[in-house]
Structure 1
């Protein structure tokens, strides 16, 4: 069997896996995934149909397996099995506690369909992989909180939550969840708050109570990154000149605080931000490397930074 037919066999098998795992699969998406023409995908689908696989759909719309059709368990390669082990270790350390039990159950099902040799491989190698995590452990007041949030997104129904702010102020909110994300050691919900009539981030461990309602979303939402990259609110432009020796340590945090432009100059890196956190969050972040940075604008940030330094100095002298 030559290389061409081996590639086709691998691709056709992968297309079958896609059909098993998704309700609708578009030819255009498959063509992009496997870097082939759409016409090639049409031929691959025809190959599956000729092999007796009942595929519903047609070119130009999408493909799916006939409802109720069952296929034998998918066989995993050795590389895929090894990736499962690594993923499991990461999930044990970084997954939210409301997802951990469900993931463990899912992995038990995956292990049950592995060949004996692959199960033996897992047993020997899993103790050789370690993931060290130094994030603070948080305890949620609500069981299965993230699955509840994800169900509300899928069903497009509002959530009712009791939320405690960083100042320990408790309020009742009705929200329309857009998505969840993990950042800086915490899980957050990005949602439209019906009380504020605006998009807000809610830290999951500060939710005291949560319940799904029967009220549908008031509008359609895009992907979560659409809202995180373009947050609503009053944003202020900030420009900093940062020493080159420290810039590498800001690679992740600078994006979080609204970096829009970065220019290297002879004196250092000139960073431009658009931030909503000019009063508290931004100056407290800036103070962690203030000895390597100069505030170019606005003047109000210099004032806030100086006031914060005076408070810190007074408290520790």
Structure 2
């Protein structure tokens, strides 16, 4: 047995316990790629070391209320990751949540040594990330924070939402289930009282939002259930040939369309997709490269591209 590896795993498990109200054994086993039996042994080792852990079958492990160790020292790599994470948060979350994160990071920094603070400042001065304006509605800077509050407190959210095919927003009551990021946009799944079903929404289309004190009226499954349900849409096999000189320009977005594999043949790259996106959506993306590419299959994609081109007026 690698004693050093086990020691680091046990310490990491402790920090998981200290950072969460409940930790499931299976989640720990998946995180550290070990068996459940190994996790049980590690938990016993922590208990024997005097850490007050209690567990309940089917629920998980927790630290006794109020138990904390003194703030731990940070490694150089962990300290530098704090600066990098703050820059990433500035790009990927809305203004309100970034302010909250910055305040939390400032509290963590107060425990650092002077040299560590200097290292962070050095990195911050030499790191820059642009923020895409379309990711959030600037008039609703607190959207993410309110949605997270609704999820954790199980409170109904009031919002005004403009659907993609609508010019005006309508008022909805929702019960938010979870939030995810995909293809440079933030989305969330919520039960919509207006439609009386679980729907997917995009955060930048929120025009107004507020949390009520009204509790959820329904029980909801985990976010993964609804994402998997969305992924169950019919799959279309698509094959295209692209000139090698421009094929790499397609790498940024092709995963969104179910890119599966590619094969180079002479001056051409043959790409295969297993796409569950609407065929017209794929066609409009393909048209960006159409003068240097060809559609191998299916015929429905060829016809869709012809129809779009036929409607173009110059």
TM-score of Structure 1 vs Structure 2, range by shorter chain: 0.7 to 0.9
2: CA distance, partners of 1:181 / 1:28: 23
**Which residue does 2:270 correspond to in 1?**
269
**CA distance 1:275–1:6, shift in 2 (3 Å):** closer
**Which residue does 1:147 correspond to in 2?**
145
2: CA distance, partners of 1:260 / 1:194: 36
2: CA distance, partners of 1:212 / 1:123: 37
2: CA distance, partners of 1:138 / 1:46: 46
**Which residue does 2:210 correspond to in 1?**
211
Which ranges in structure 1 are unaligned for 5 or more consecutive residues? none
Deviations 1:248-275 (A, max 9, x none): 4333523323x27546485753534444
**Which residue does 1:87 correspond to in 2?**
85
1: CA distance, partners of 2:14 / 2:284: 52
2: CA distance, partners of 1:31 / 1:303: 50
Report if aligned partners of 2:231, 2:276 keep a CA contact under 8 Å in 1: no
Report if aligned partners of 1:180, 1:187 keep a CA contact under 8 Å in 2: yes
| 1:234 CA displacement | 7.2
**CA distance 1:198–1:294, shift in 2 (3 Å):** farther
Report if aligned partners of 1:199, 1:232 keep a CA contact under 8 Å in 2: no
2: CA distance, partners of 1:61 / 1:304: 51
User: How many residues were matched structurally?
Assistant: 308
**What SS does the aligned partner of 1:159 have?**
strand
| 1:133 CA displacement | 4.8
2: CA distance, partners of 1:50 / 1:275: 52
2: CA distance, partners of 1:169 / 1:261: 38
| 1:81 CA displacement | 0.5
**CA distance 1:277–1:32, shift in 2 (3 Å):** closer
1: CA distance, partners of 2:75 / 2:192: 45
**What SS does the aligned partner of 2:91 have?**
helix
Which ranges in structure 2 are unaligned for 5 or more consecutive residues? none
Give the TM-score normalised by structure 2.
Answer: 0.81
| 1:106 CA displacement | 0.9
2: CA distance, partners of 1:107 / 1:141: 26
1: CA distance, partners of 2:198 / 2:309: 32
2: CA distance, partners of 1:297 / 1:35: 41
Deviations 1:223-246 (A, max 9, x none): 34x434542897573634232624
Report if aligned partners of 2:158, 2:211 keep a CA contact under 8 Å in 1: yes
2: CA distance, partners of 1:198 / 1:233: 17
**CA distance 1:295–1:278, shift in 2 (3 Å):** same
Matched, 1:179 2:178: yes
Report if aligned partners of 1:141, 1:207 keep a CA contact under 8 Å in 2: no
| 1:100 CA displacement | 0.9
Deviations 1:173-211 (A, max 9, x none): 233323223334432223343434454332222212223
1:96-245 → structure 2 map (5 Å cutoff) = 96-133=94-131, 136=134, 138-166=136-164, 167-213=166-212, 214-224=214-224, 226-231=225-230, 235=234, 237=236, 239-243=238-242, 245=244
Which among 28, 44, 47 is matched to residue 46 of structure 1?
Answer: 44
**What SS does the aligned partner of 2:85 have?**
helix
CA RMSD of aligned residues (A): 3.3
Give the TM-score normalised by structure 1.
Answer: 0.80
**What SS does the aligned partner of 1:151 have?**
helix
1: CA distance, partners of 2:228 / 2:33: 29
| 1:220 CA displacement | 2.1
**CA distance 1:302–1:23, shift in 2 (3 Å):** same
2: CA distance, partners of 1:80 / 1:50: 28
**What SS does the aligned partner of 2:125 have?**
helix
2: CA distance, partners of 1:252 / 1:229: 23
